[in-house]
Amino acid sequence: MKKIVLTILKAVWVLIGIVALYLTLGYLIPFIGIPADEVTEPKTVTAYILTNGVHTDIVVPVKTAEMDWSDEIPFENTRSGKSDFKYLSIGWGDKGFYLDTPTWADLKVSTALKAAFWLSESAMHCTFYDKMTVGKDCRKLMLTKSQYLKLIAFVKDKFDRDQNGKPILIKTDAVYGPNDAFYDAKGSYSFLDTCNTWTNNGLKAAGQKAALWTPTDFGIFQHYD
């Protein structure tokens, strides 16, 4: 019995140590910044990064010469069905968190454990906006054509697609408002690969300032203060 208790205590302390190490690295590593690429092309595309305080999205113009996102993410897939939006925010994350956890009060231990350890599916959350307002929760990015094309490729690659090559709509009532929709995505969320890690990697792909690695929105936005 004593051996069993000691084994359990050791396991608990190992778990506490892992959590402490993760929190420490998750705070410190994001201070290591990746500088933006030096470019000579004109910066003609306006994009944004957006946070709700926990989760970050990449925001792109709905229509430009490079991409018409309404072909990928149809307006009619939202409750409002409006077709005159100017911007589209796109975020990647755990499907269980997105669909089953509208508030932190709804969070289940099973959902958190599945999300942390690669045990659940992922989804893309897409929201249309009429305008973007720069502030503490929203930062403006100016991209060259080639940078934006790289960002487009990065974002499009994360969507699961049907036999016609179109993103797969998740038919659910768990949307957050009249102007958003969910789509199936590739990959599994984990404590090492979070929604904010994905956004950070998107910034790297587009040649923008980013953290070396970050699990949090703070790790990204500190480089845009």
Q: What are the φ/ψ torsions at residue 167 (nearest 5 degrees)?
A: -55, 145
Answer whether residue 25 is part of any domain: no
DSSP string, 97-112: HHHH-SSGGG--HHHH
* CA nearest neighbour of 180 among 56, 39, 81: 81
* CA nearest neighbour of 81 among 214, 178, 164: 178
Answer whether residue 10 is part of any domain: no
Burial class (CB in 10 A: 0-12, 13-18, 19+), 10: exposed
> The tokens of 49 are what?
């990064």
pTM given for the model: 0.89
**Distance of alpha carbon 121 from alpha carbon 75, whole angstroms:** 24
Per-residue confidence (pLDDT) for residue 117, from 0 to 100: 58
Answer whether residue 8 is part of any domain: no
Answer whether residue 52 is part of any domain: yes
**Distance of alpha carbon 102 from alpha carbon 116, whole angstroms:** 18
User: Is-contact 69 60, C-beta < 8 A?
Assistant: yes
> The tokens of 154 are what?
């990065």
Answer whether residue 70 is part of any domain: yes
User: Is-contact 165 72, C-beta < 8 A?
Assistant: no
Domain with 196 in it: 32-224
Answer whether residue 9 is part of any domain: no
Q: What domain count does the chain have?
A: 1
> The tokens of 204 are what?
């790297």
Per-residue confidence (pLDDT) for residue 16, from 0 to 100: 72
Give how far Cα 136 sits from Cα of 155, 179, 224, Å.
Answer: 24, 23, 9
Tokens 């149809």 identify what position? 74
Place 50 in a pLDDT band, splitting at 50, 70 and 90: very high
Give how far Cα 80 sits from Cα of 62, 117, 129, 177, Å.
Answer: 16, 36, 12, 9
Answer whether residue 147 is part of any domain: yes
Mean pLDDT over residues 61-81, rounded? Answer: 97
Answer whether residue 218 is part of any domain: yes
State pLDDT tens for residues 88-134.
Answer: 999 999 888 787 665 545 555 555 555 555 557 899 999 999 999 99
User: Is-contact 188 114, C-beta < 8 A?
Assistant: no
State pLDDT tens for residues 190-223.
Answer: 888 999 999 999 999 999 999 999 999 999 999 9
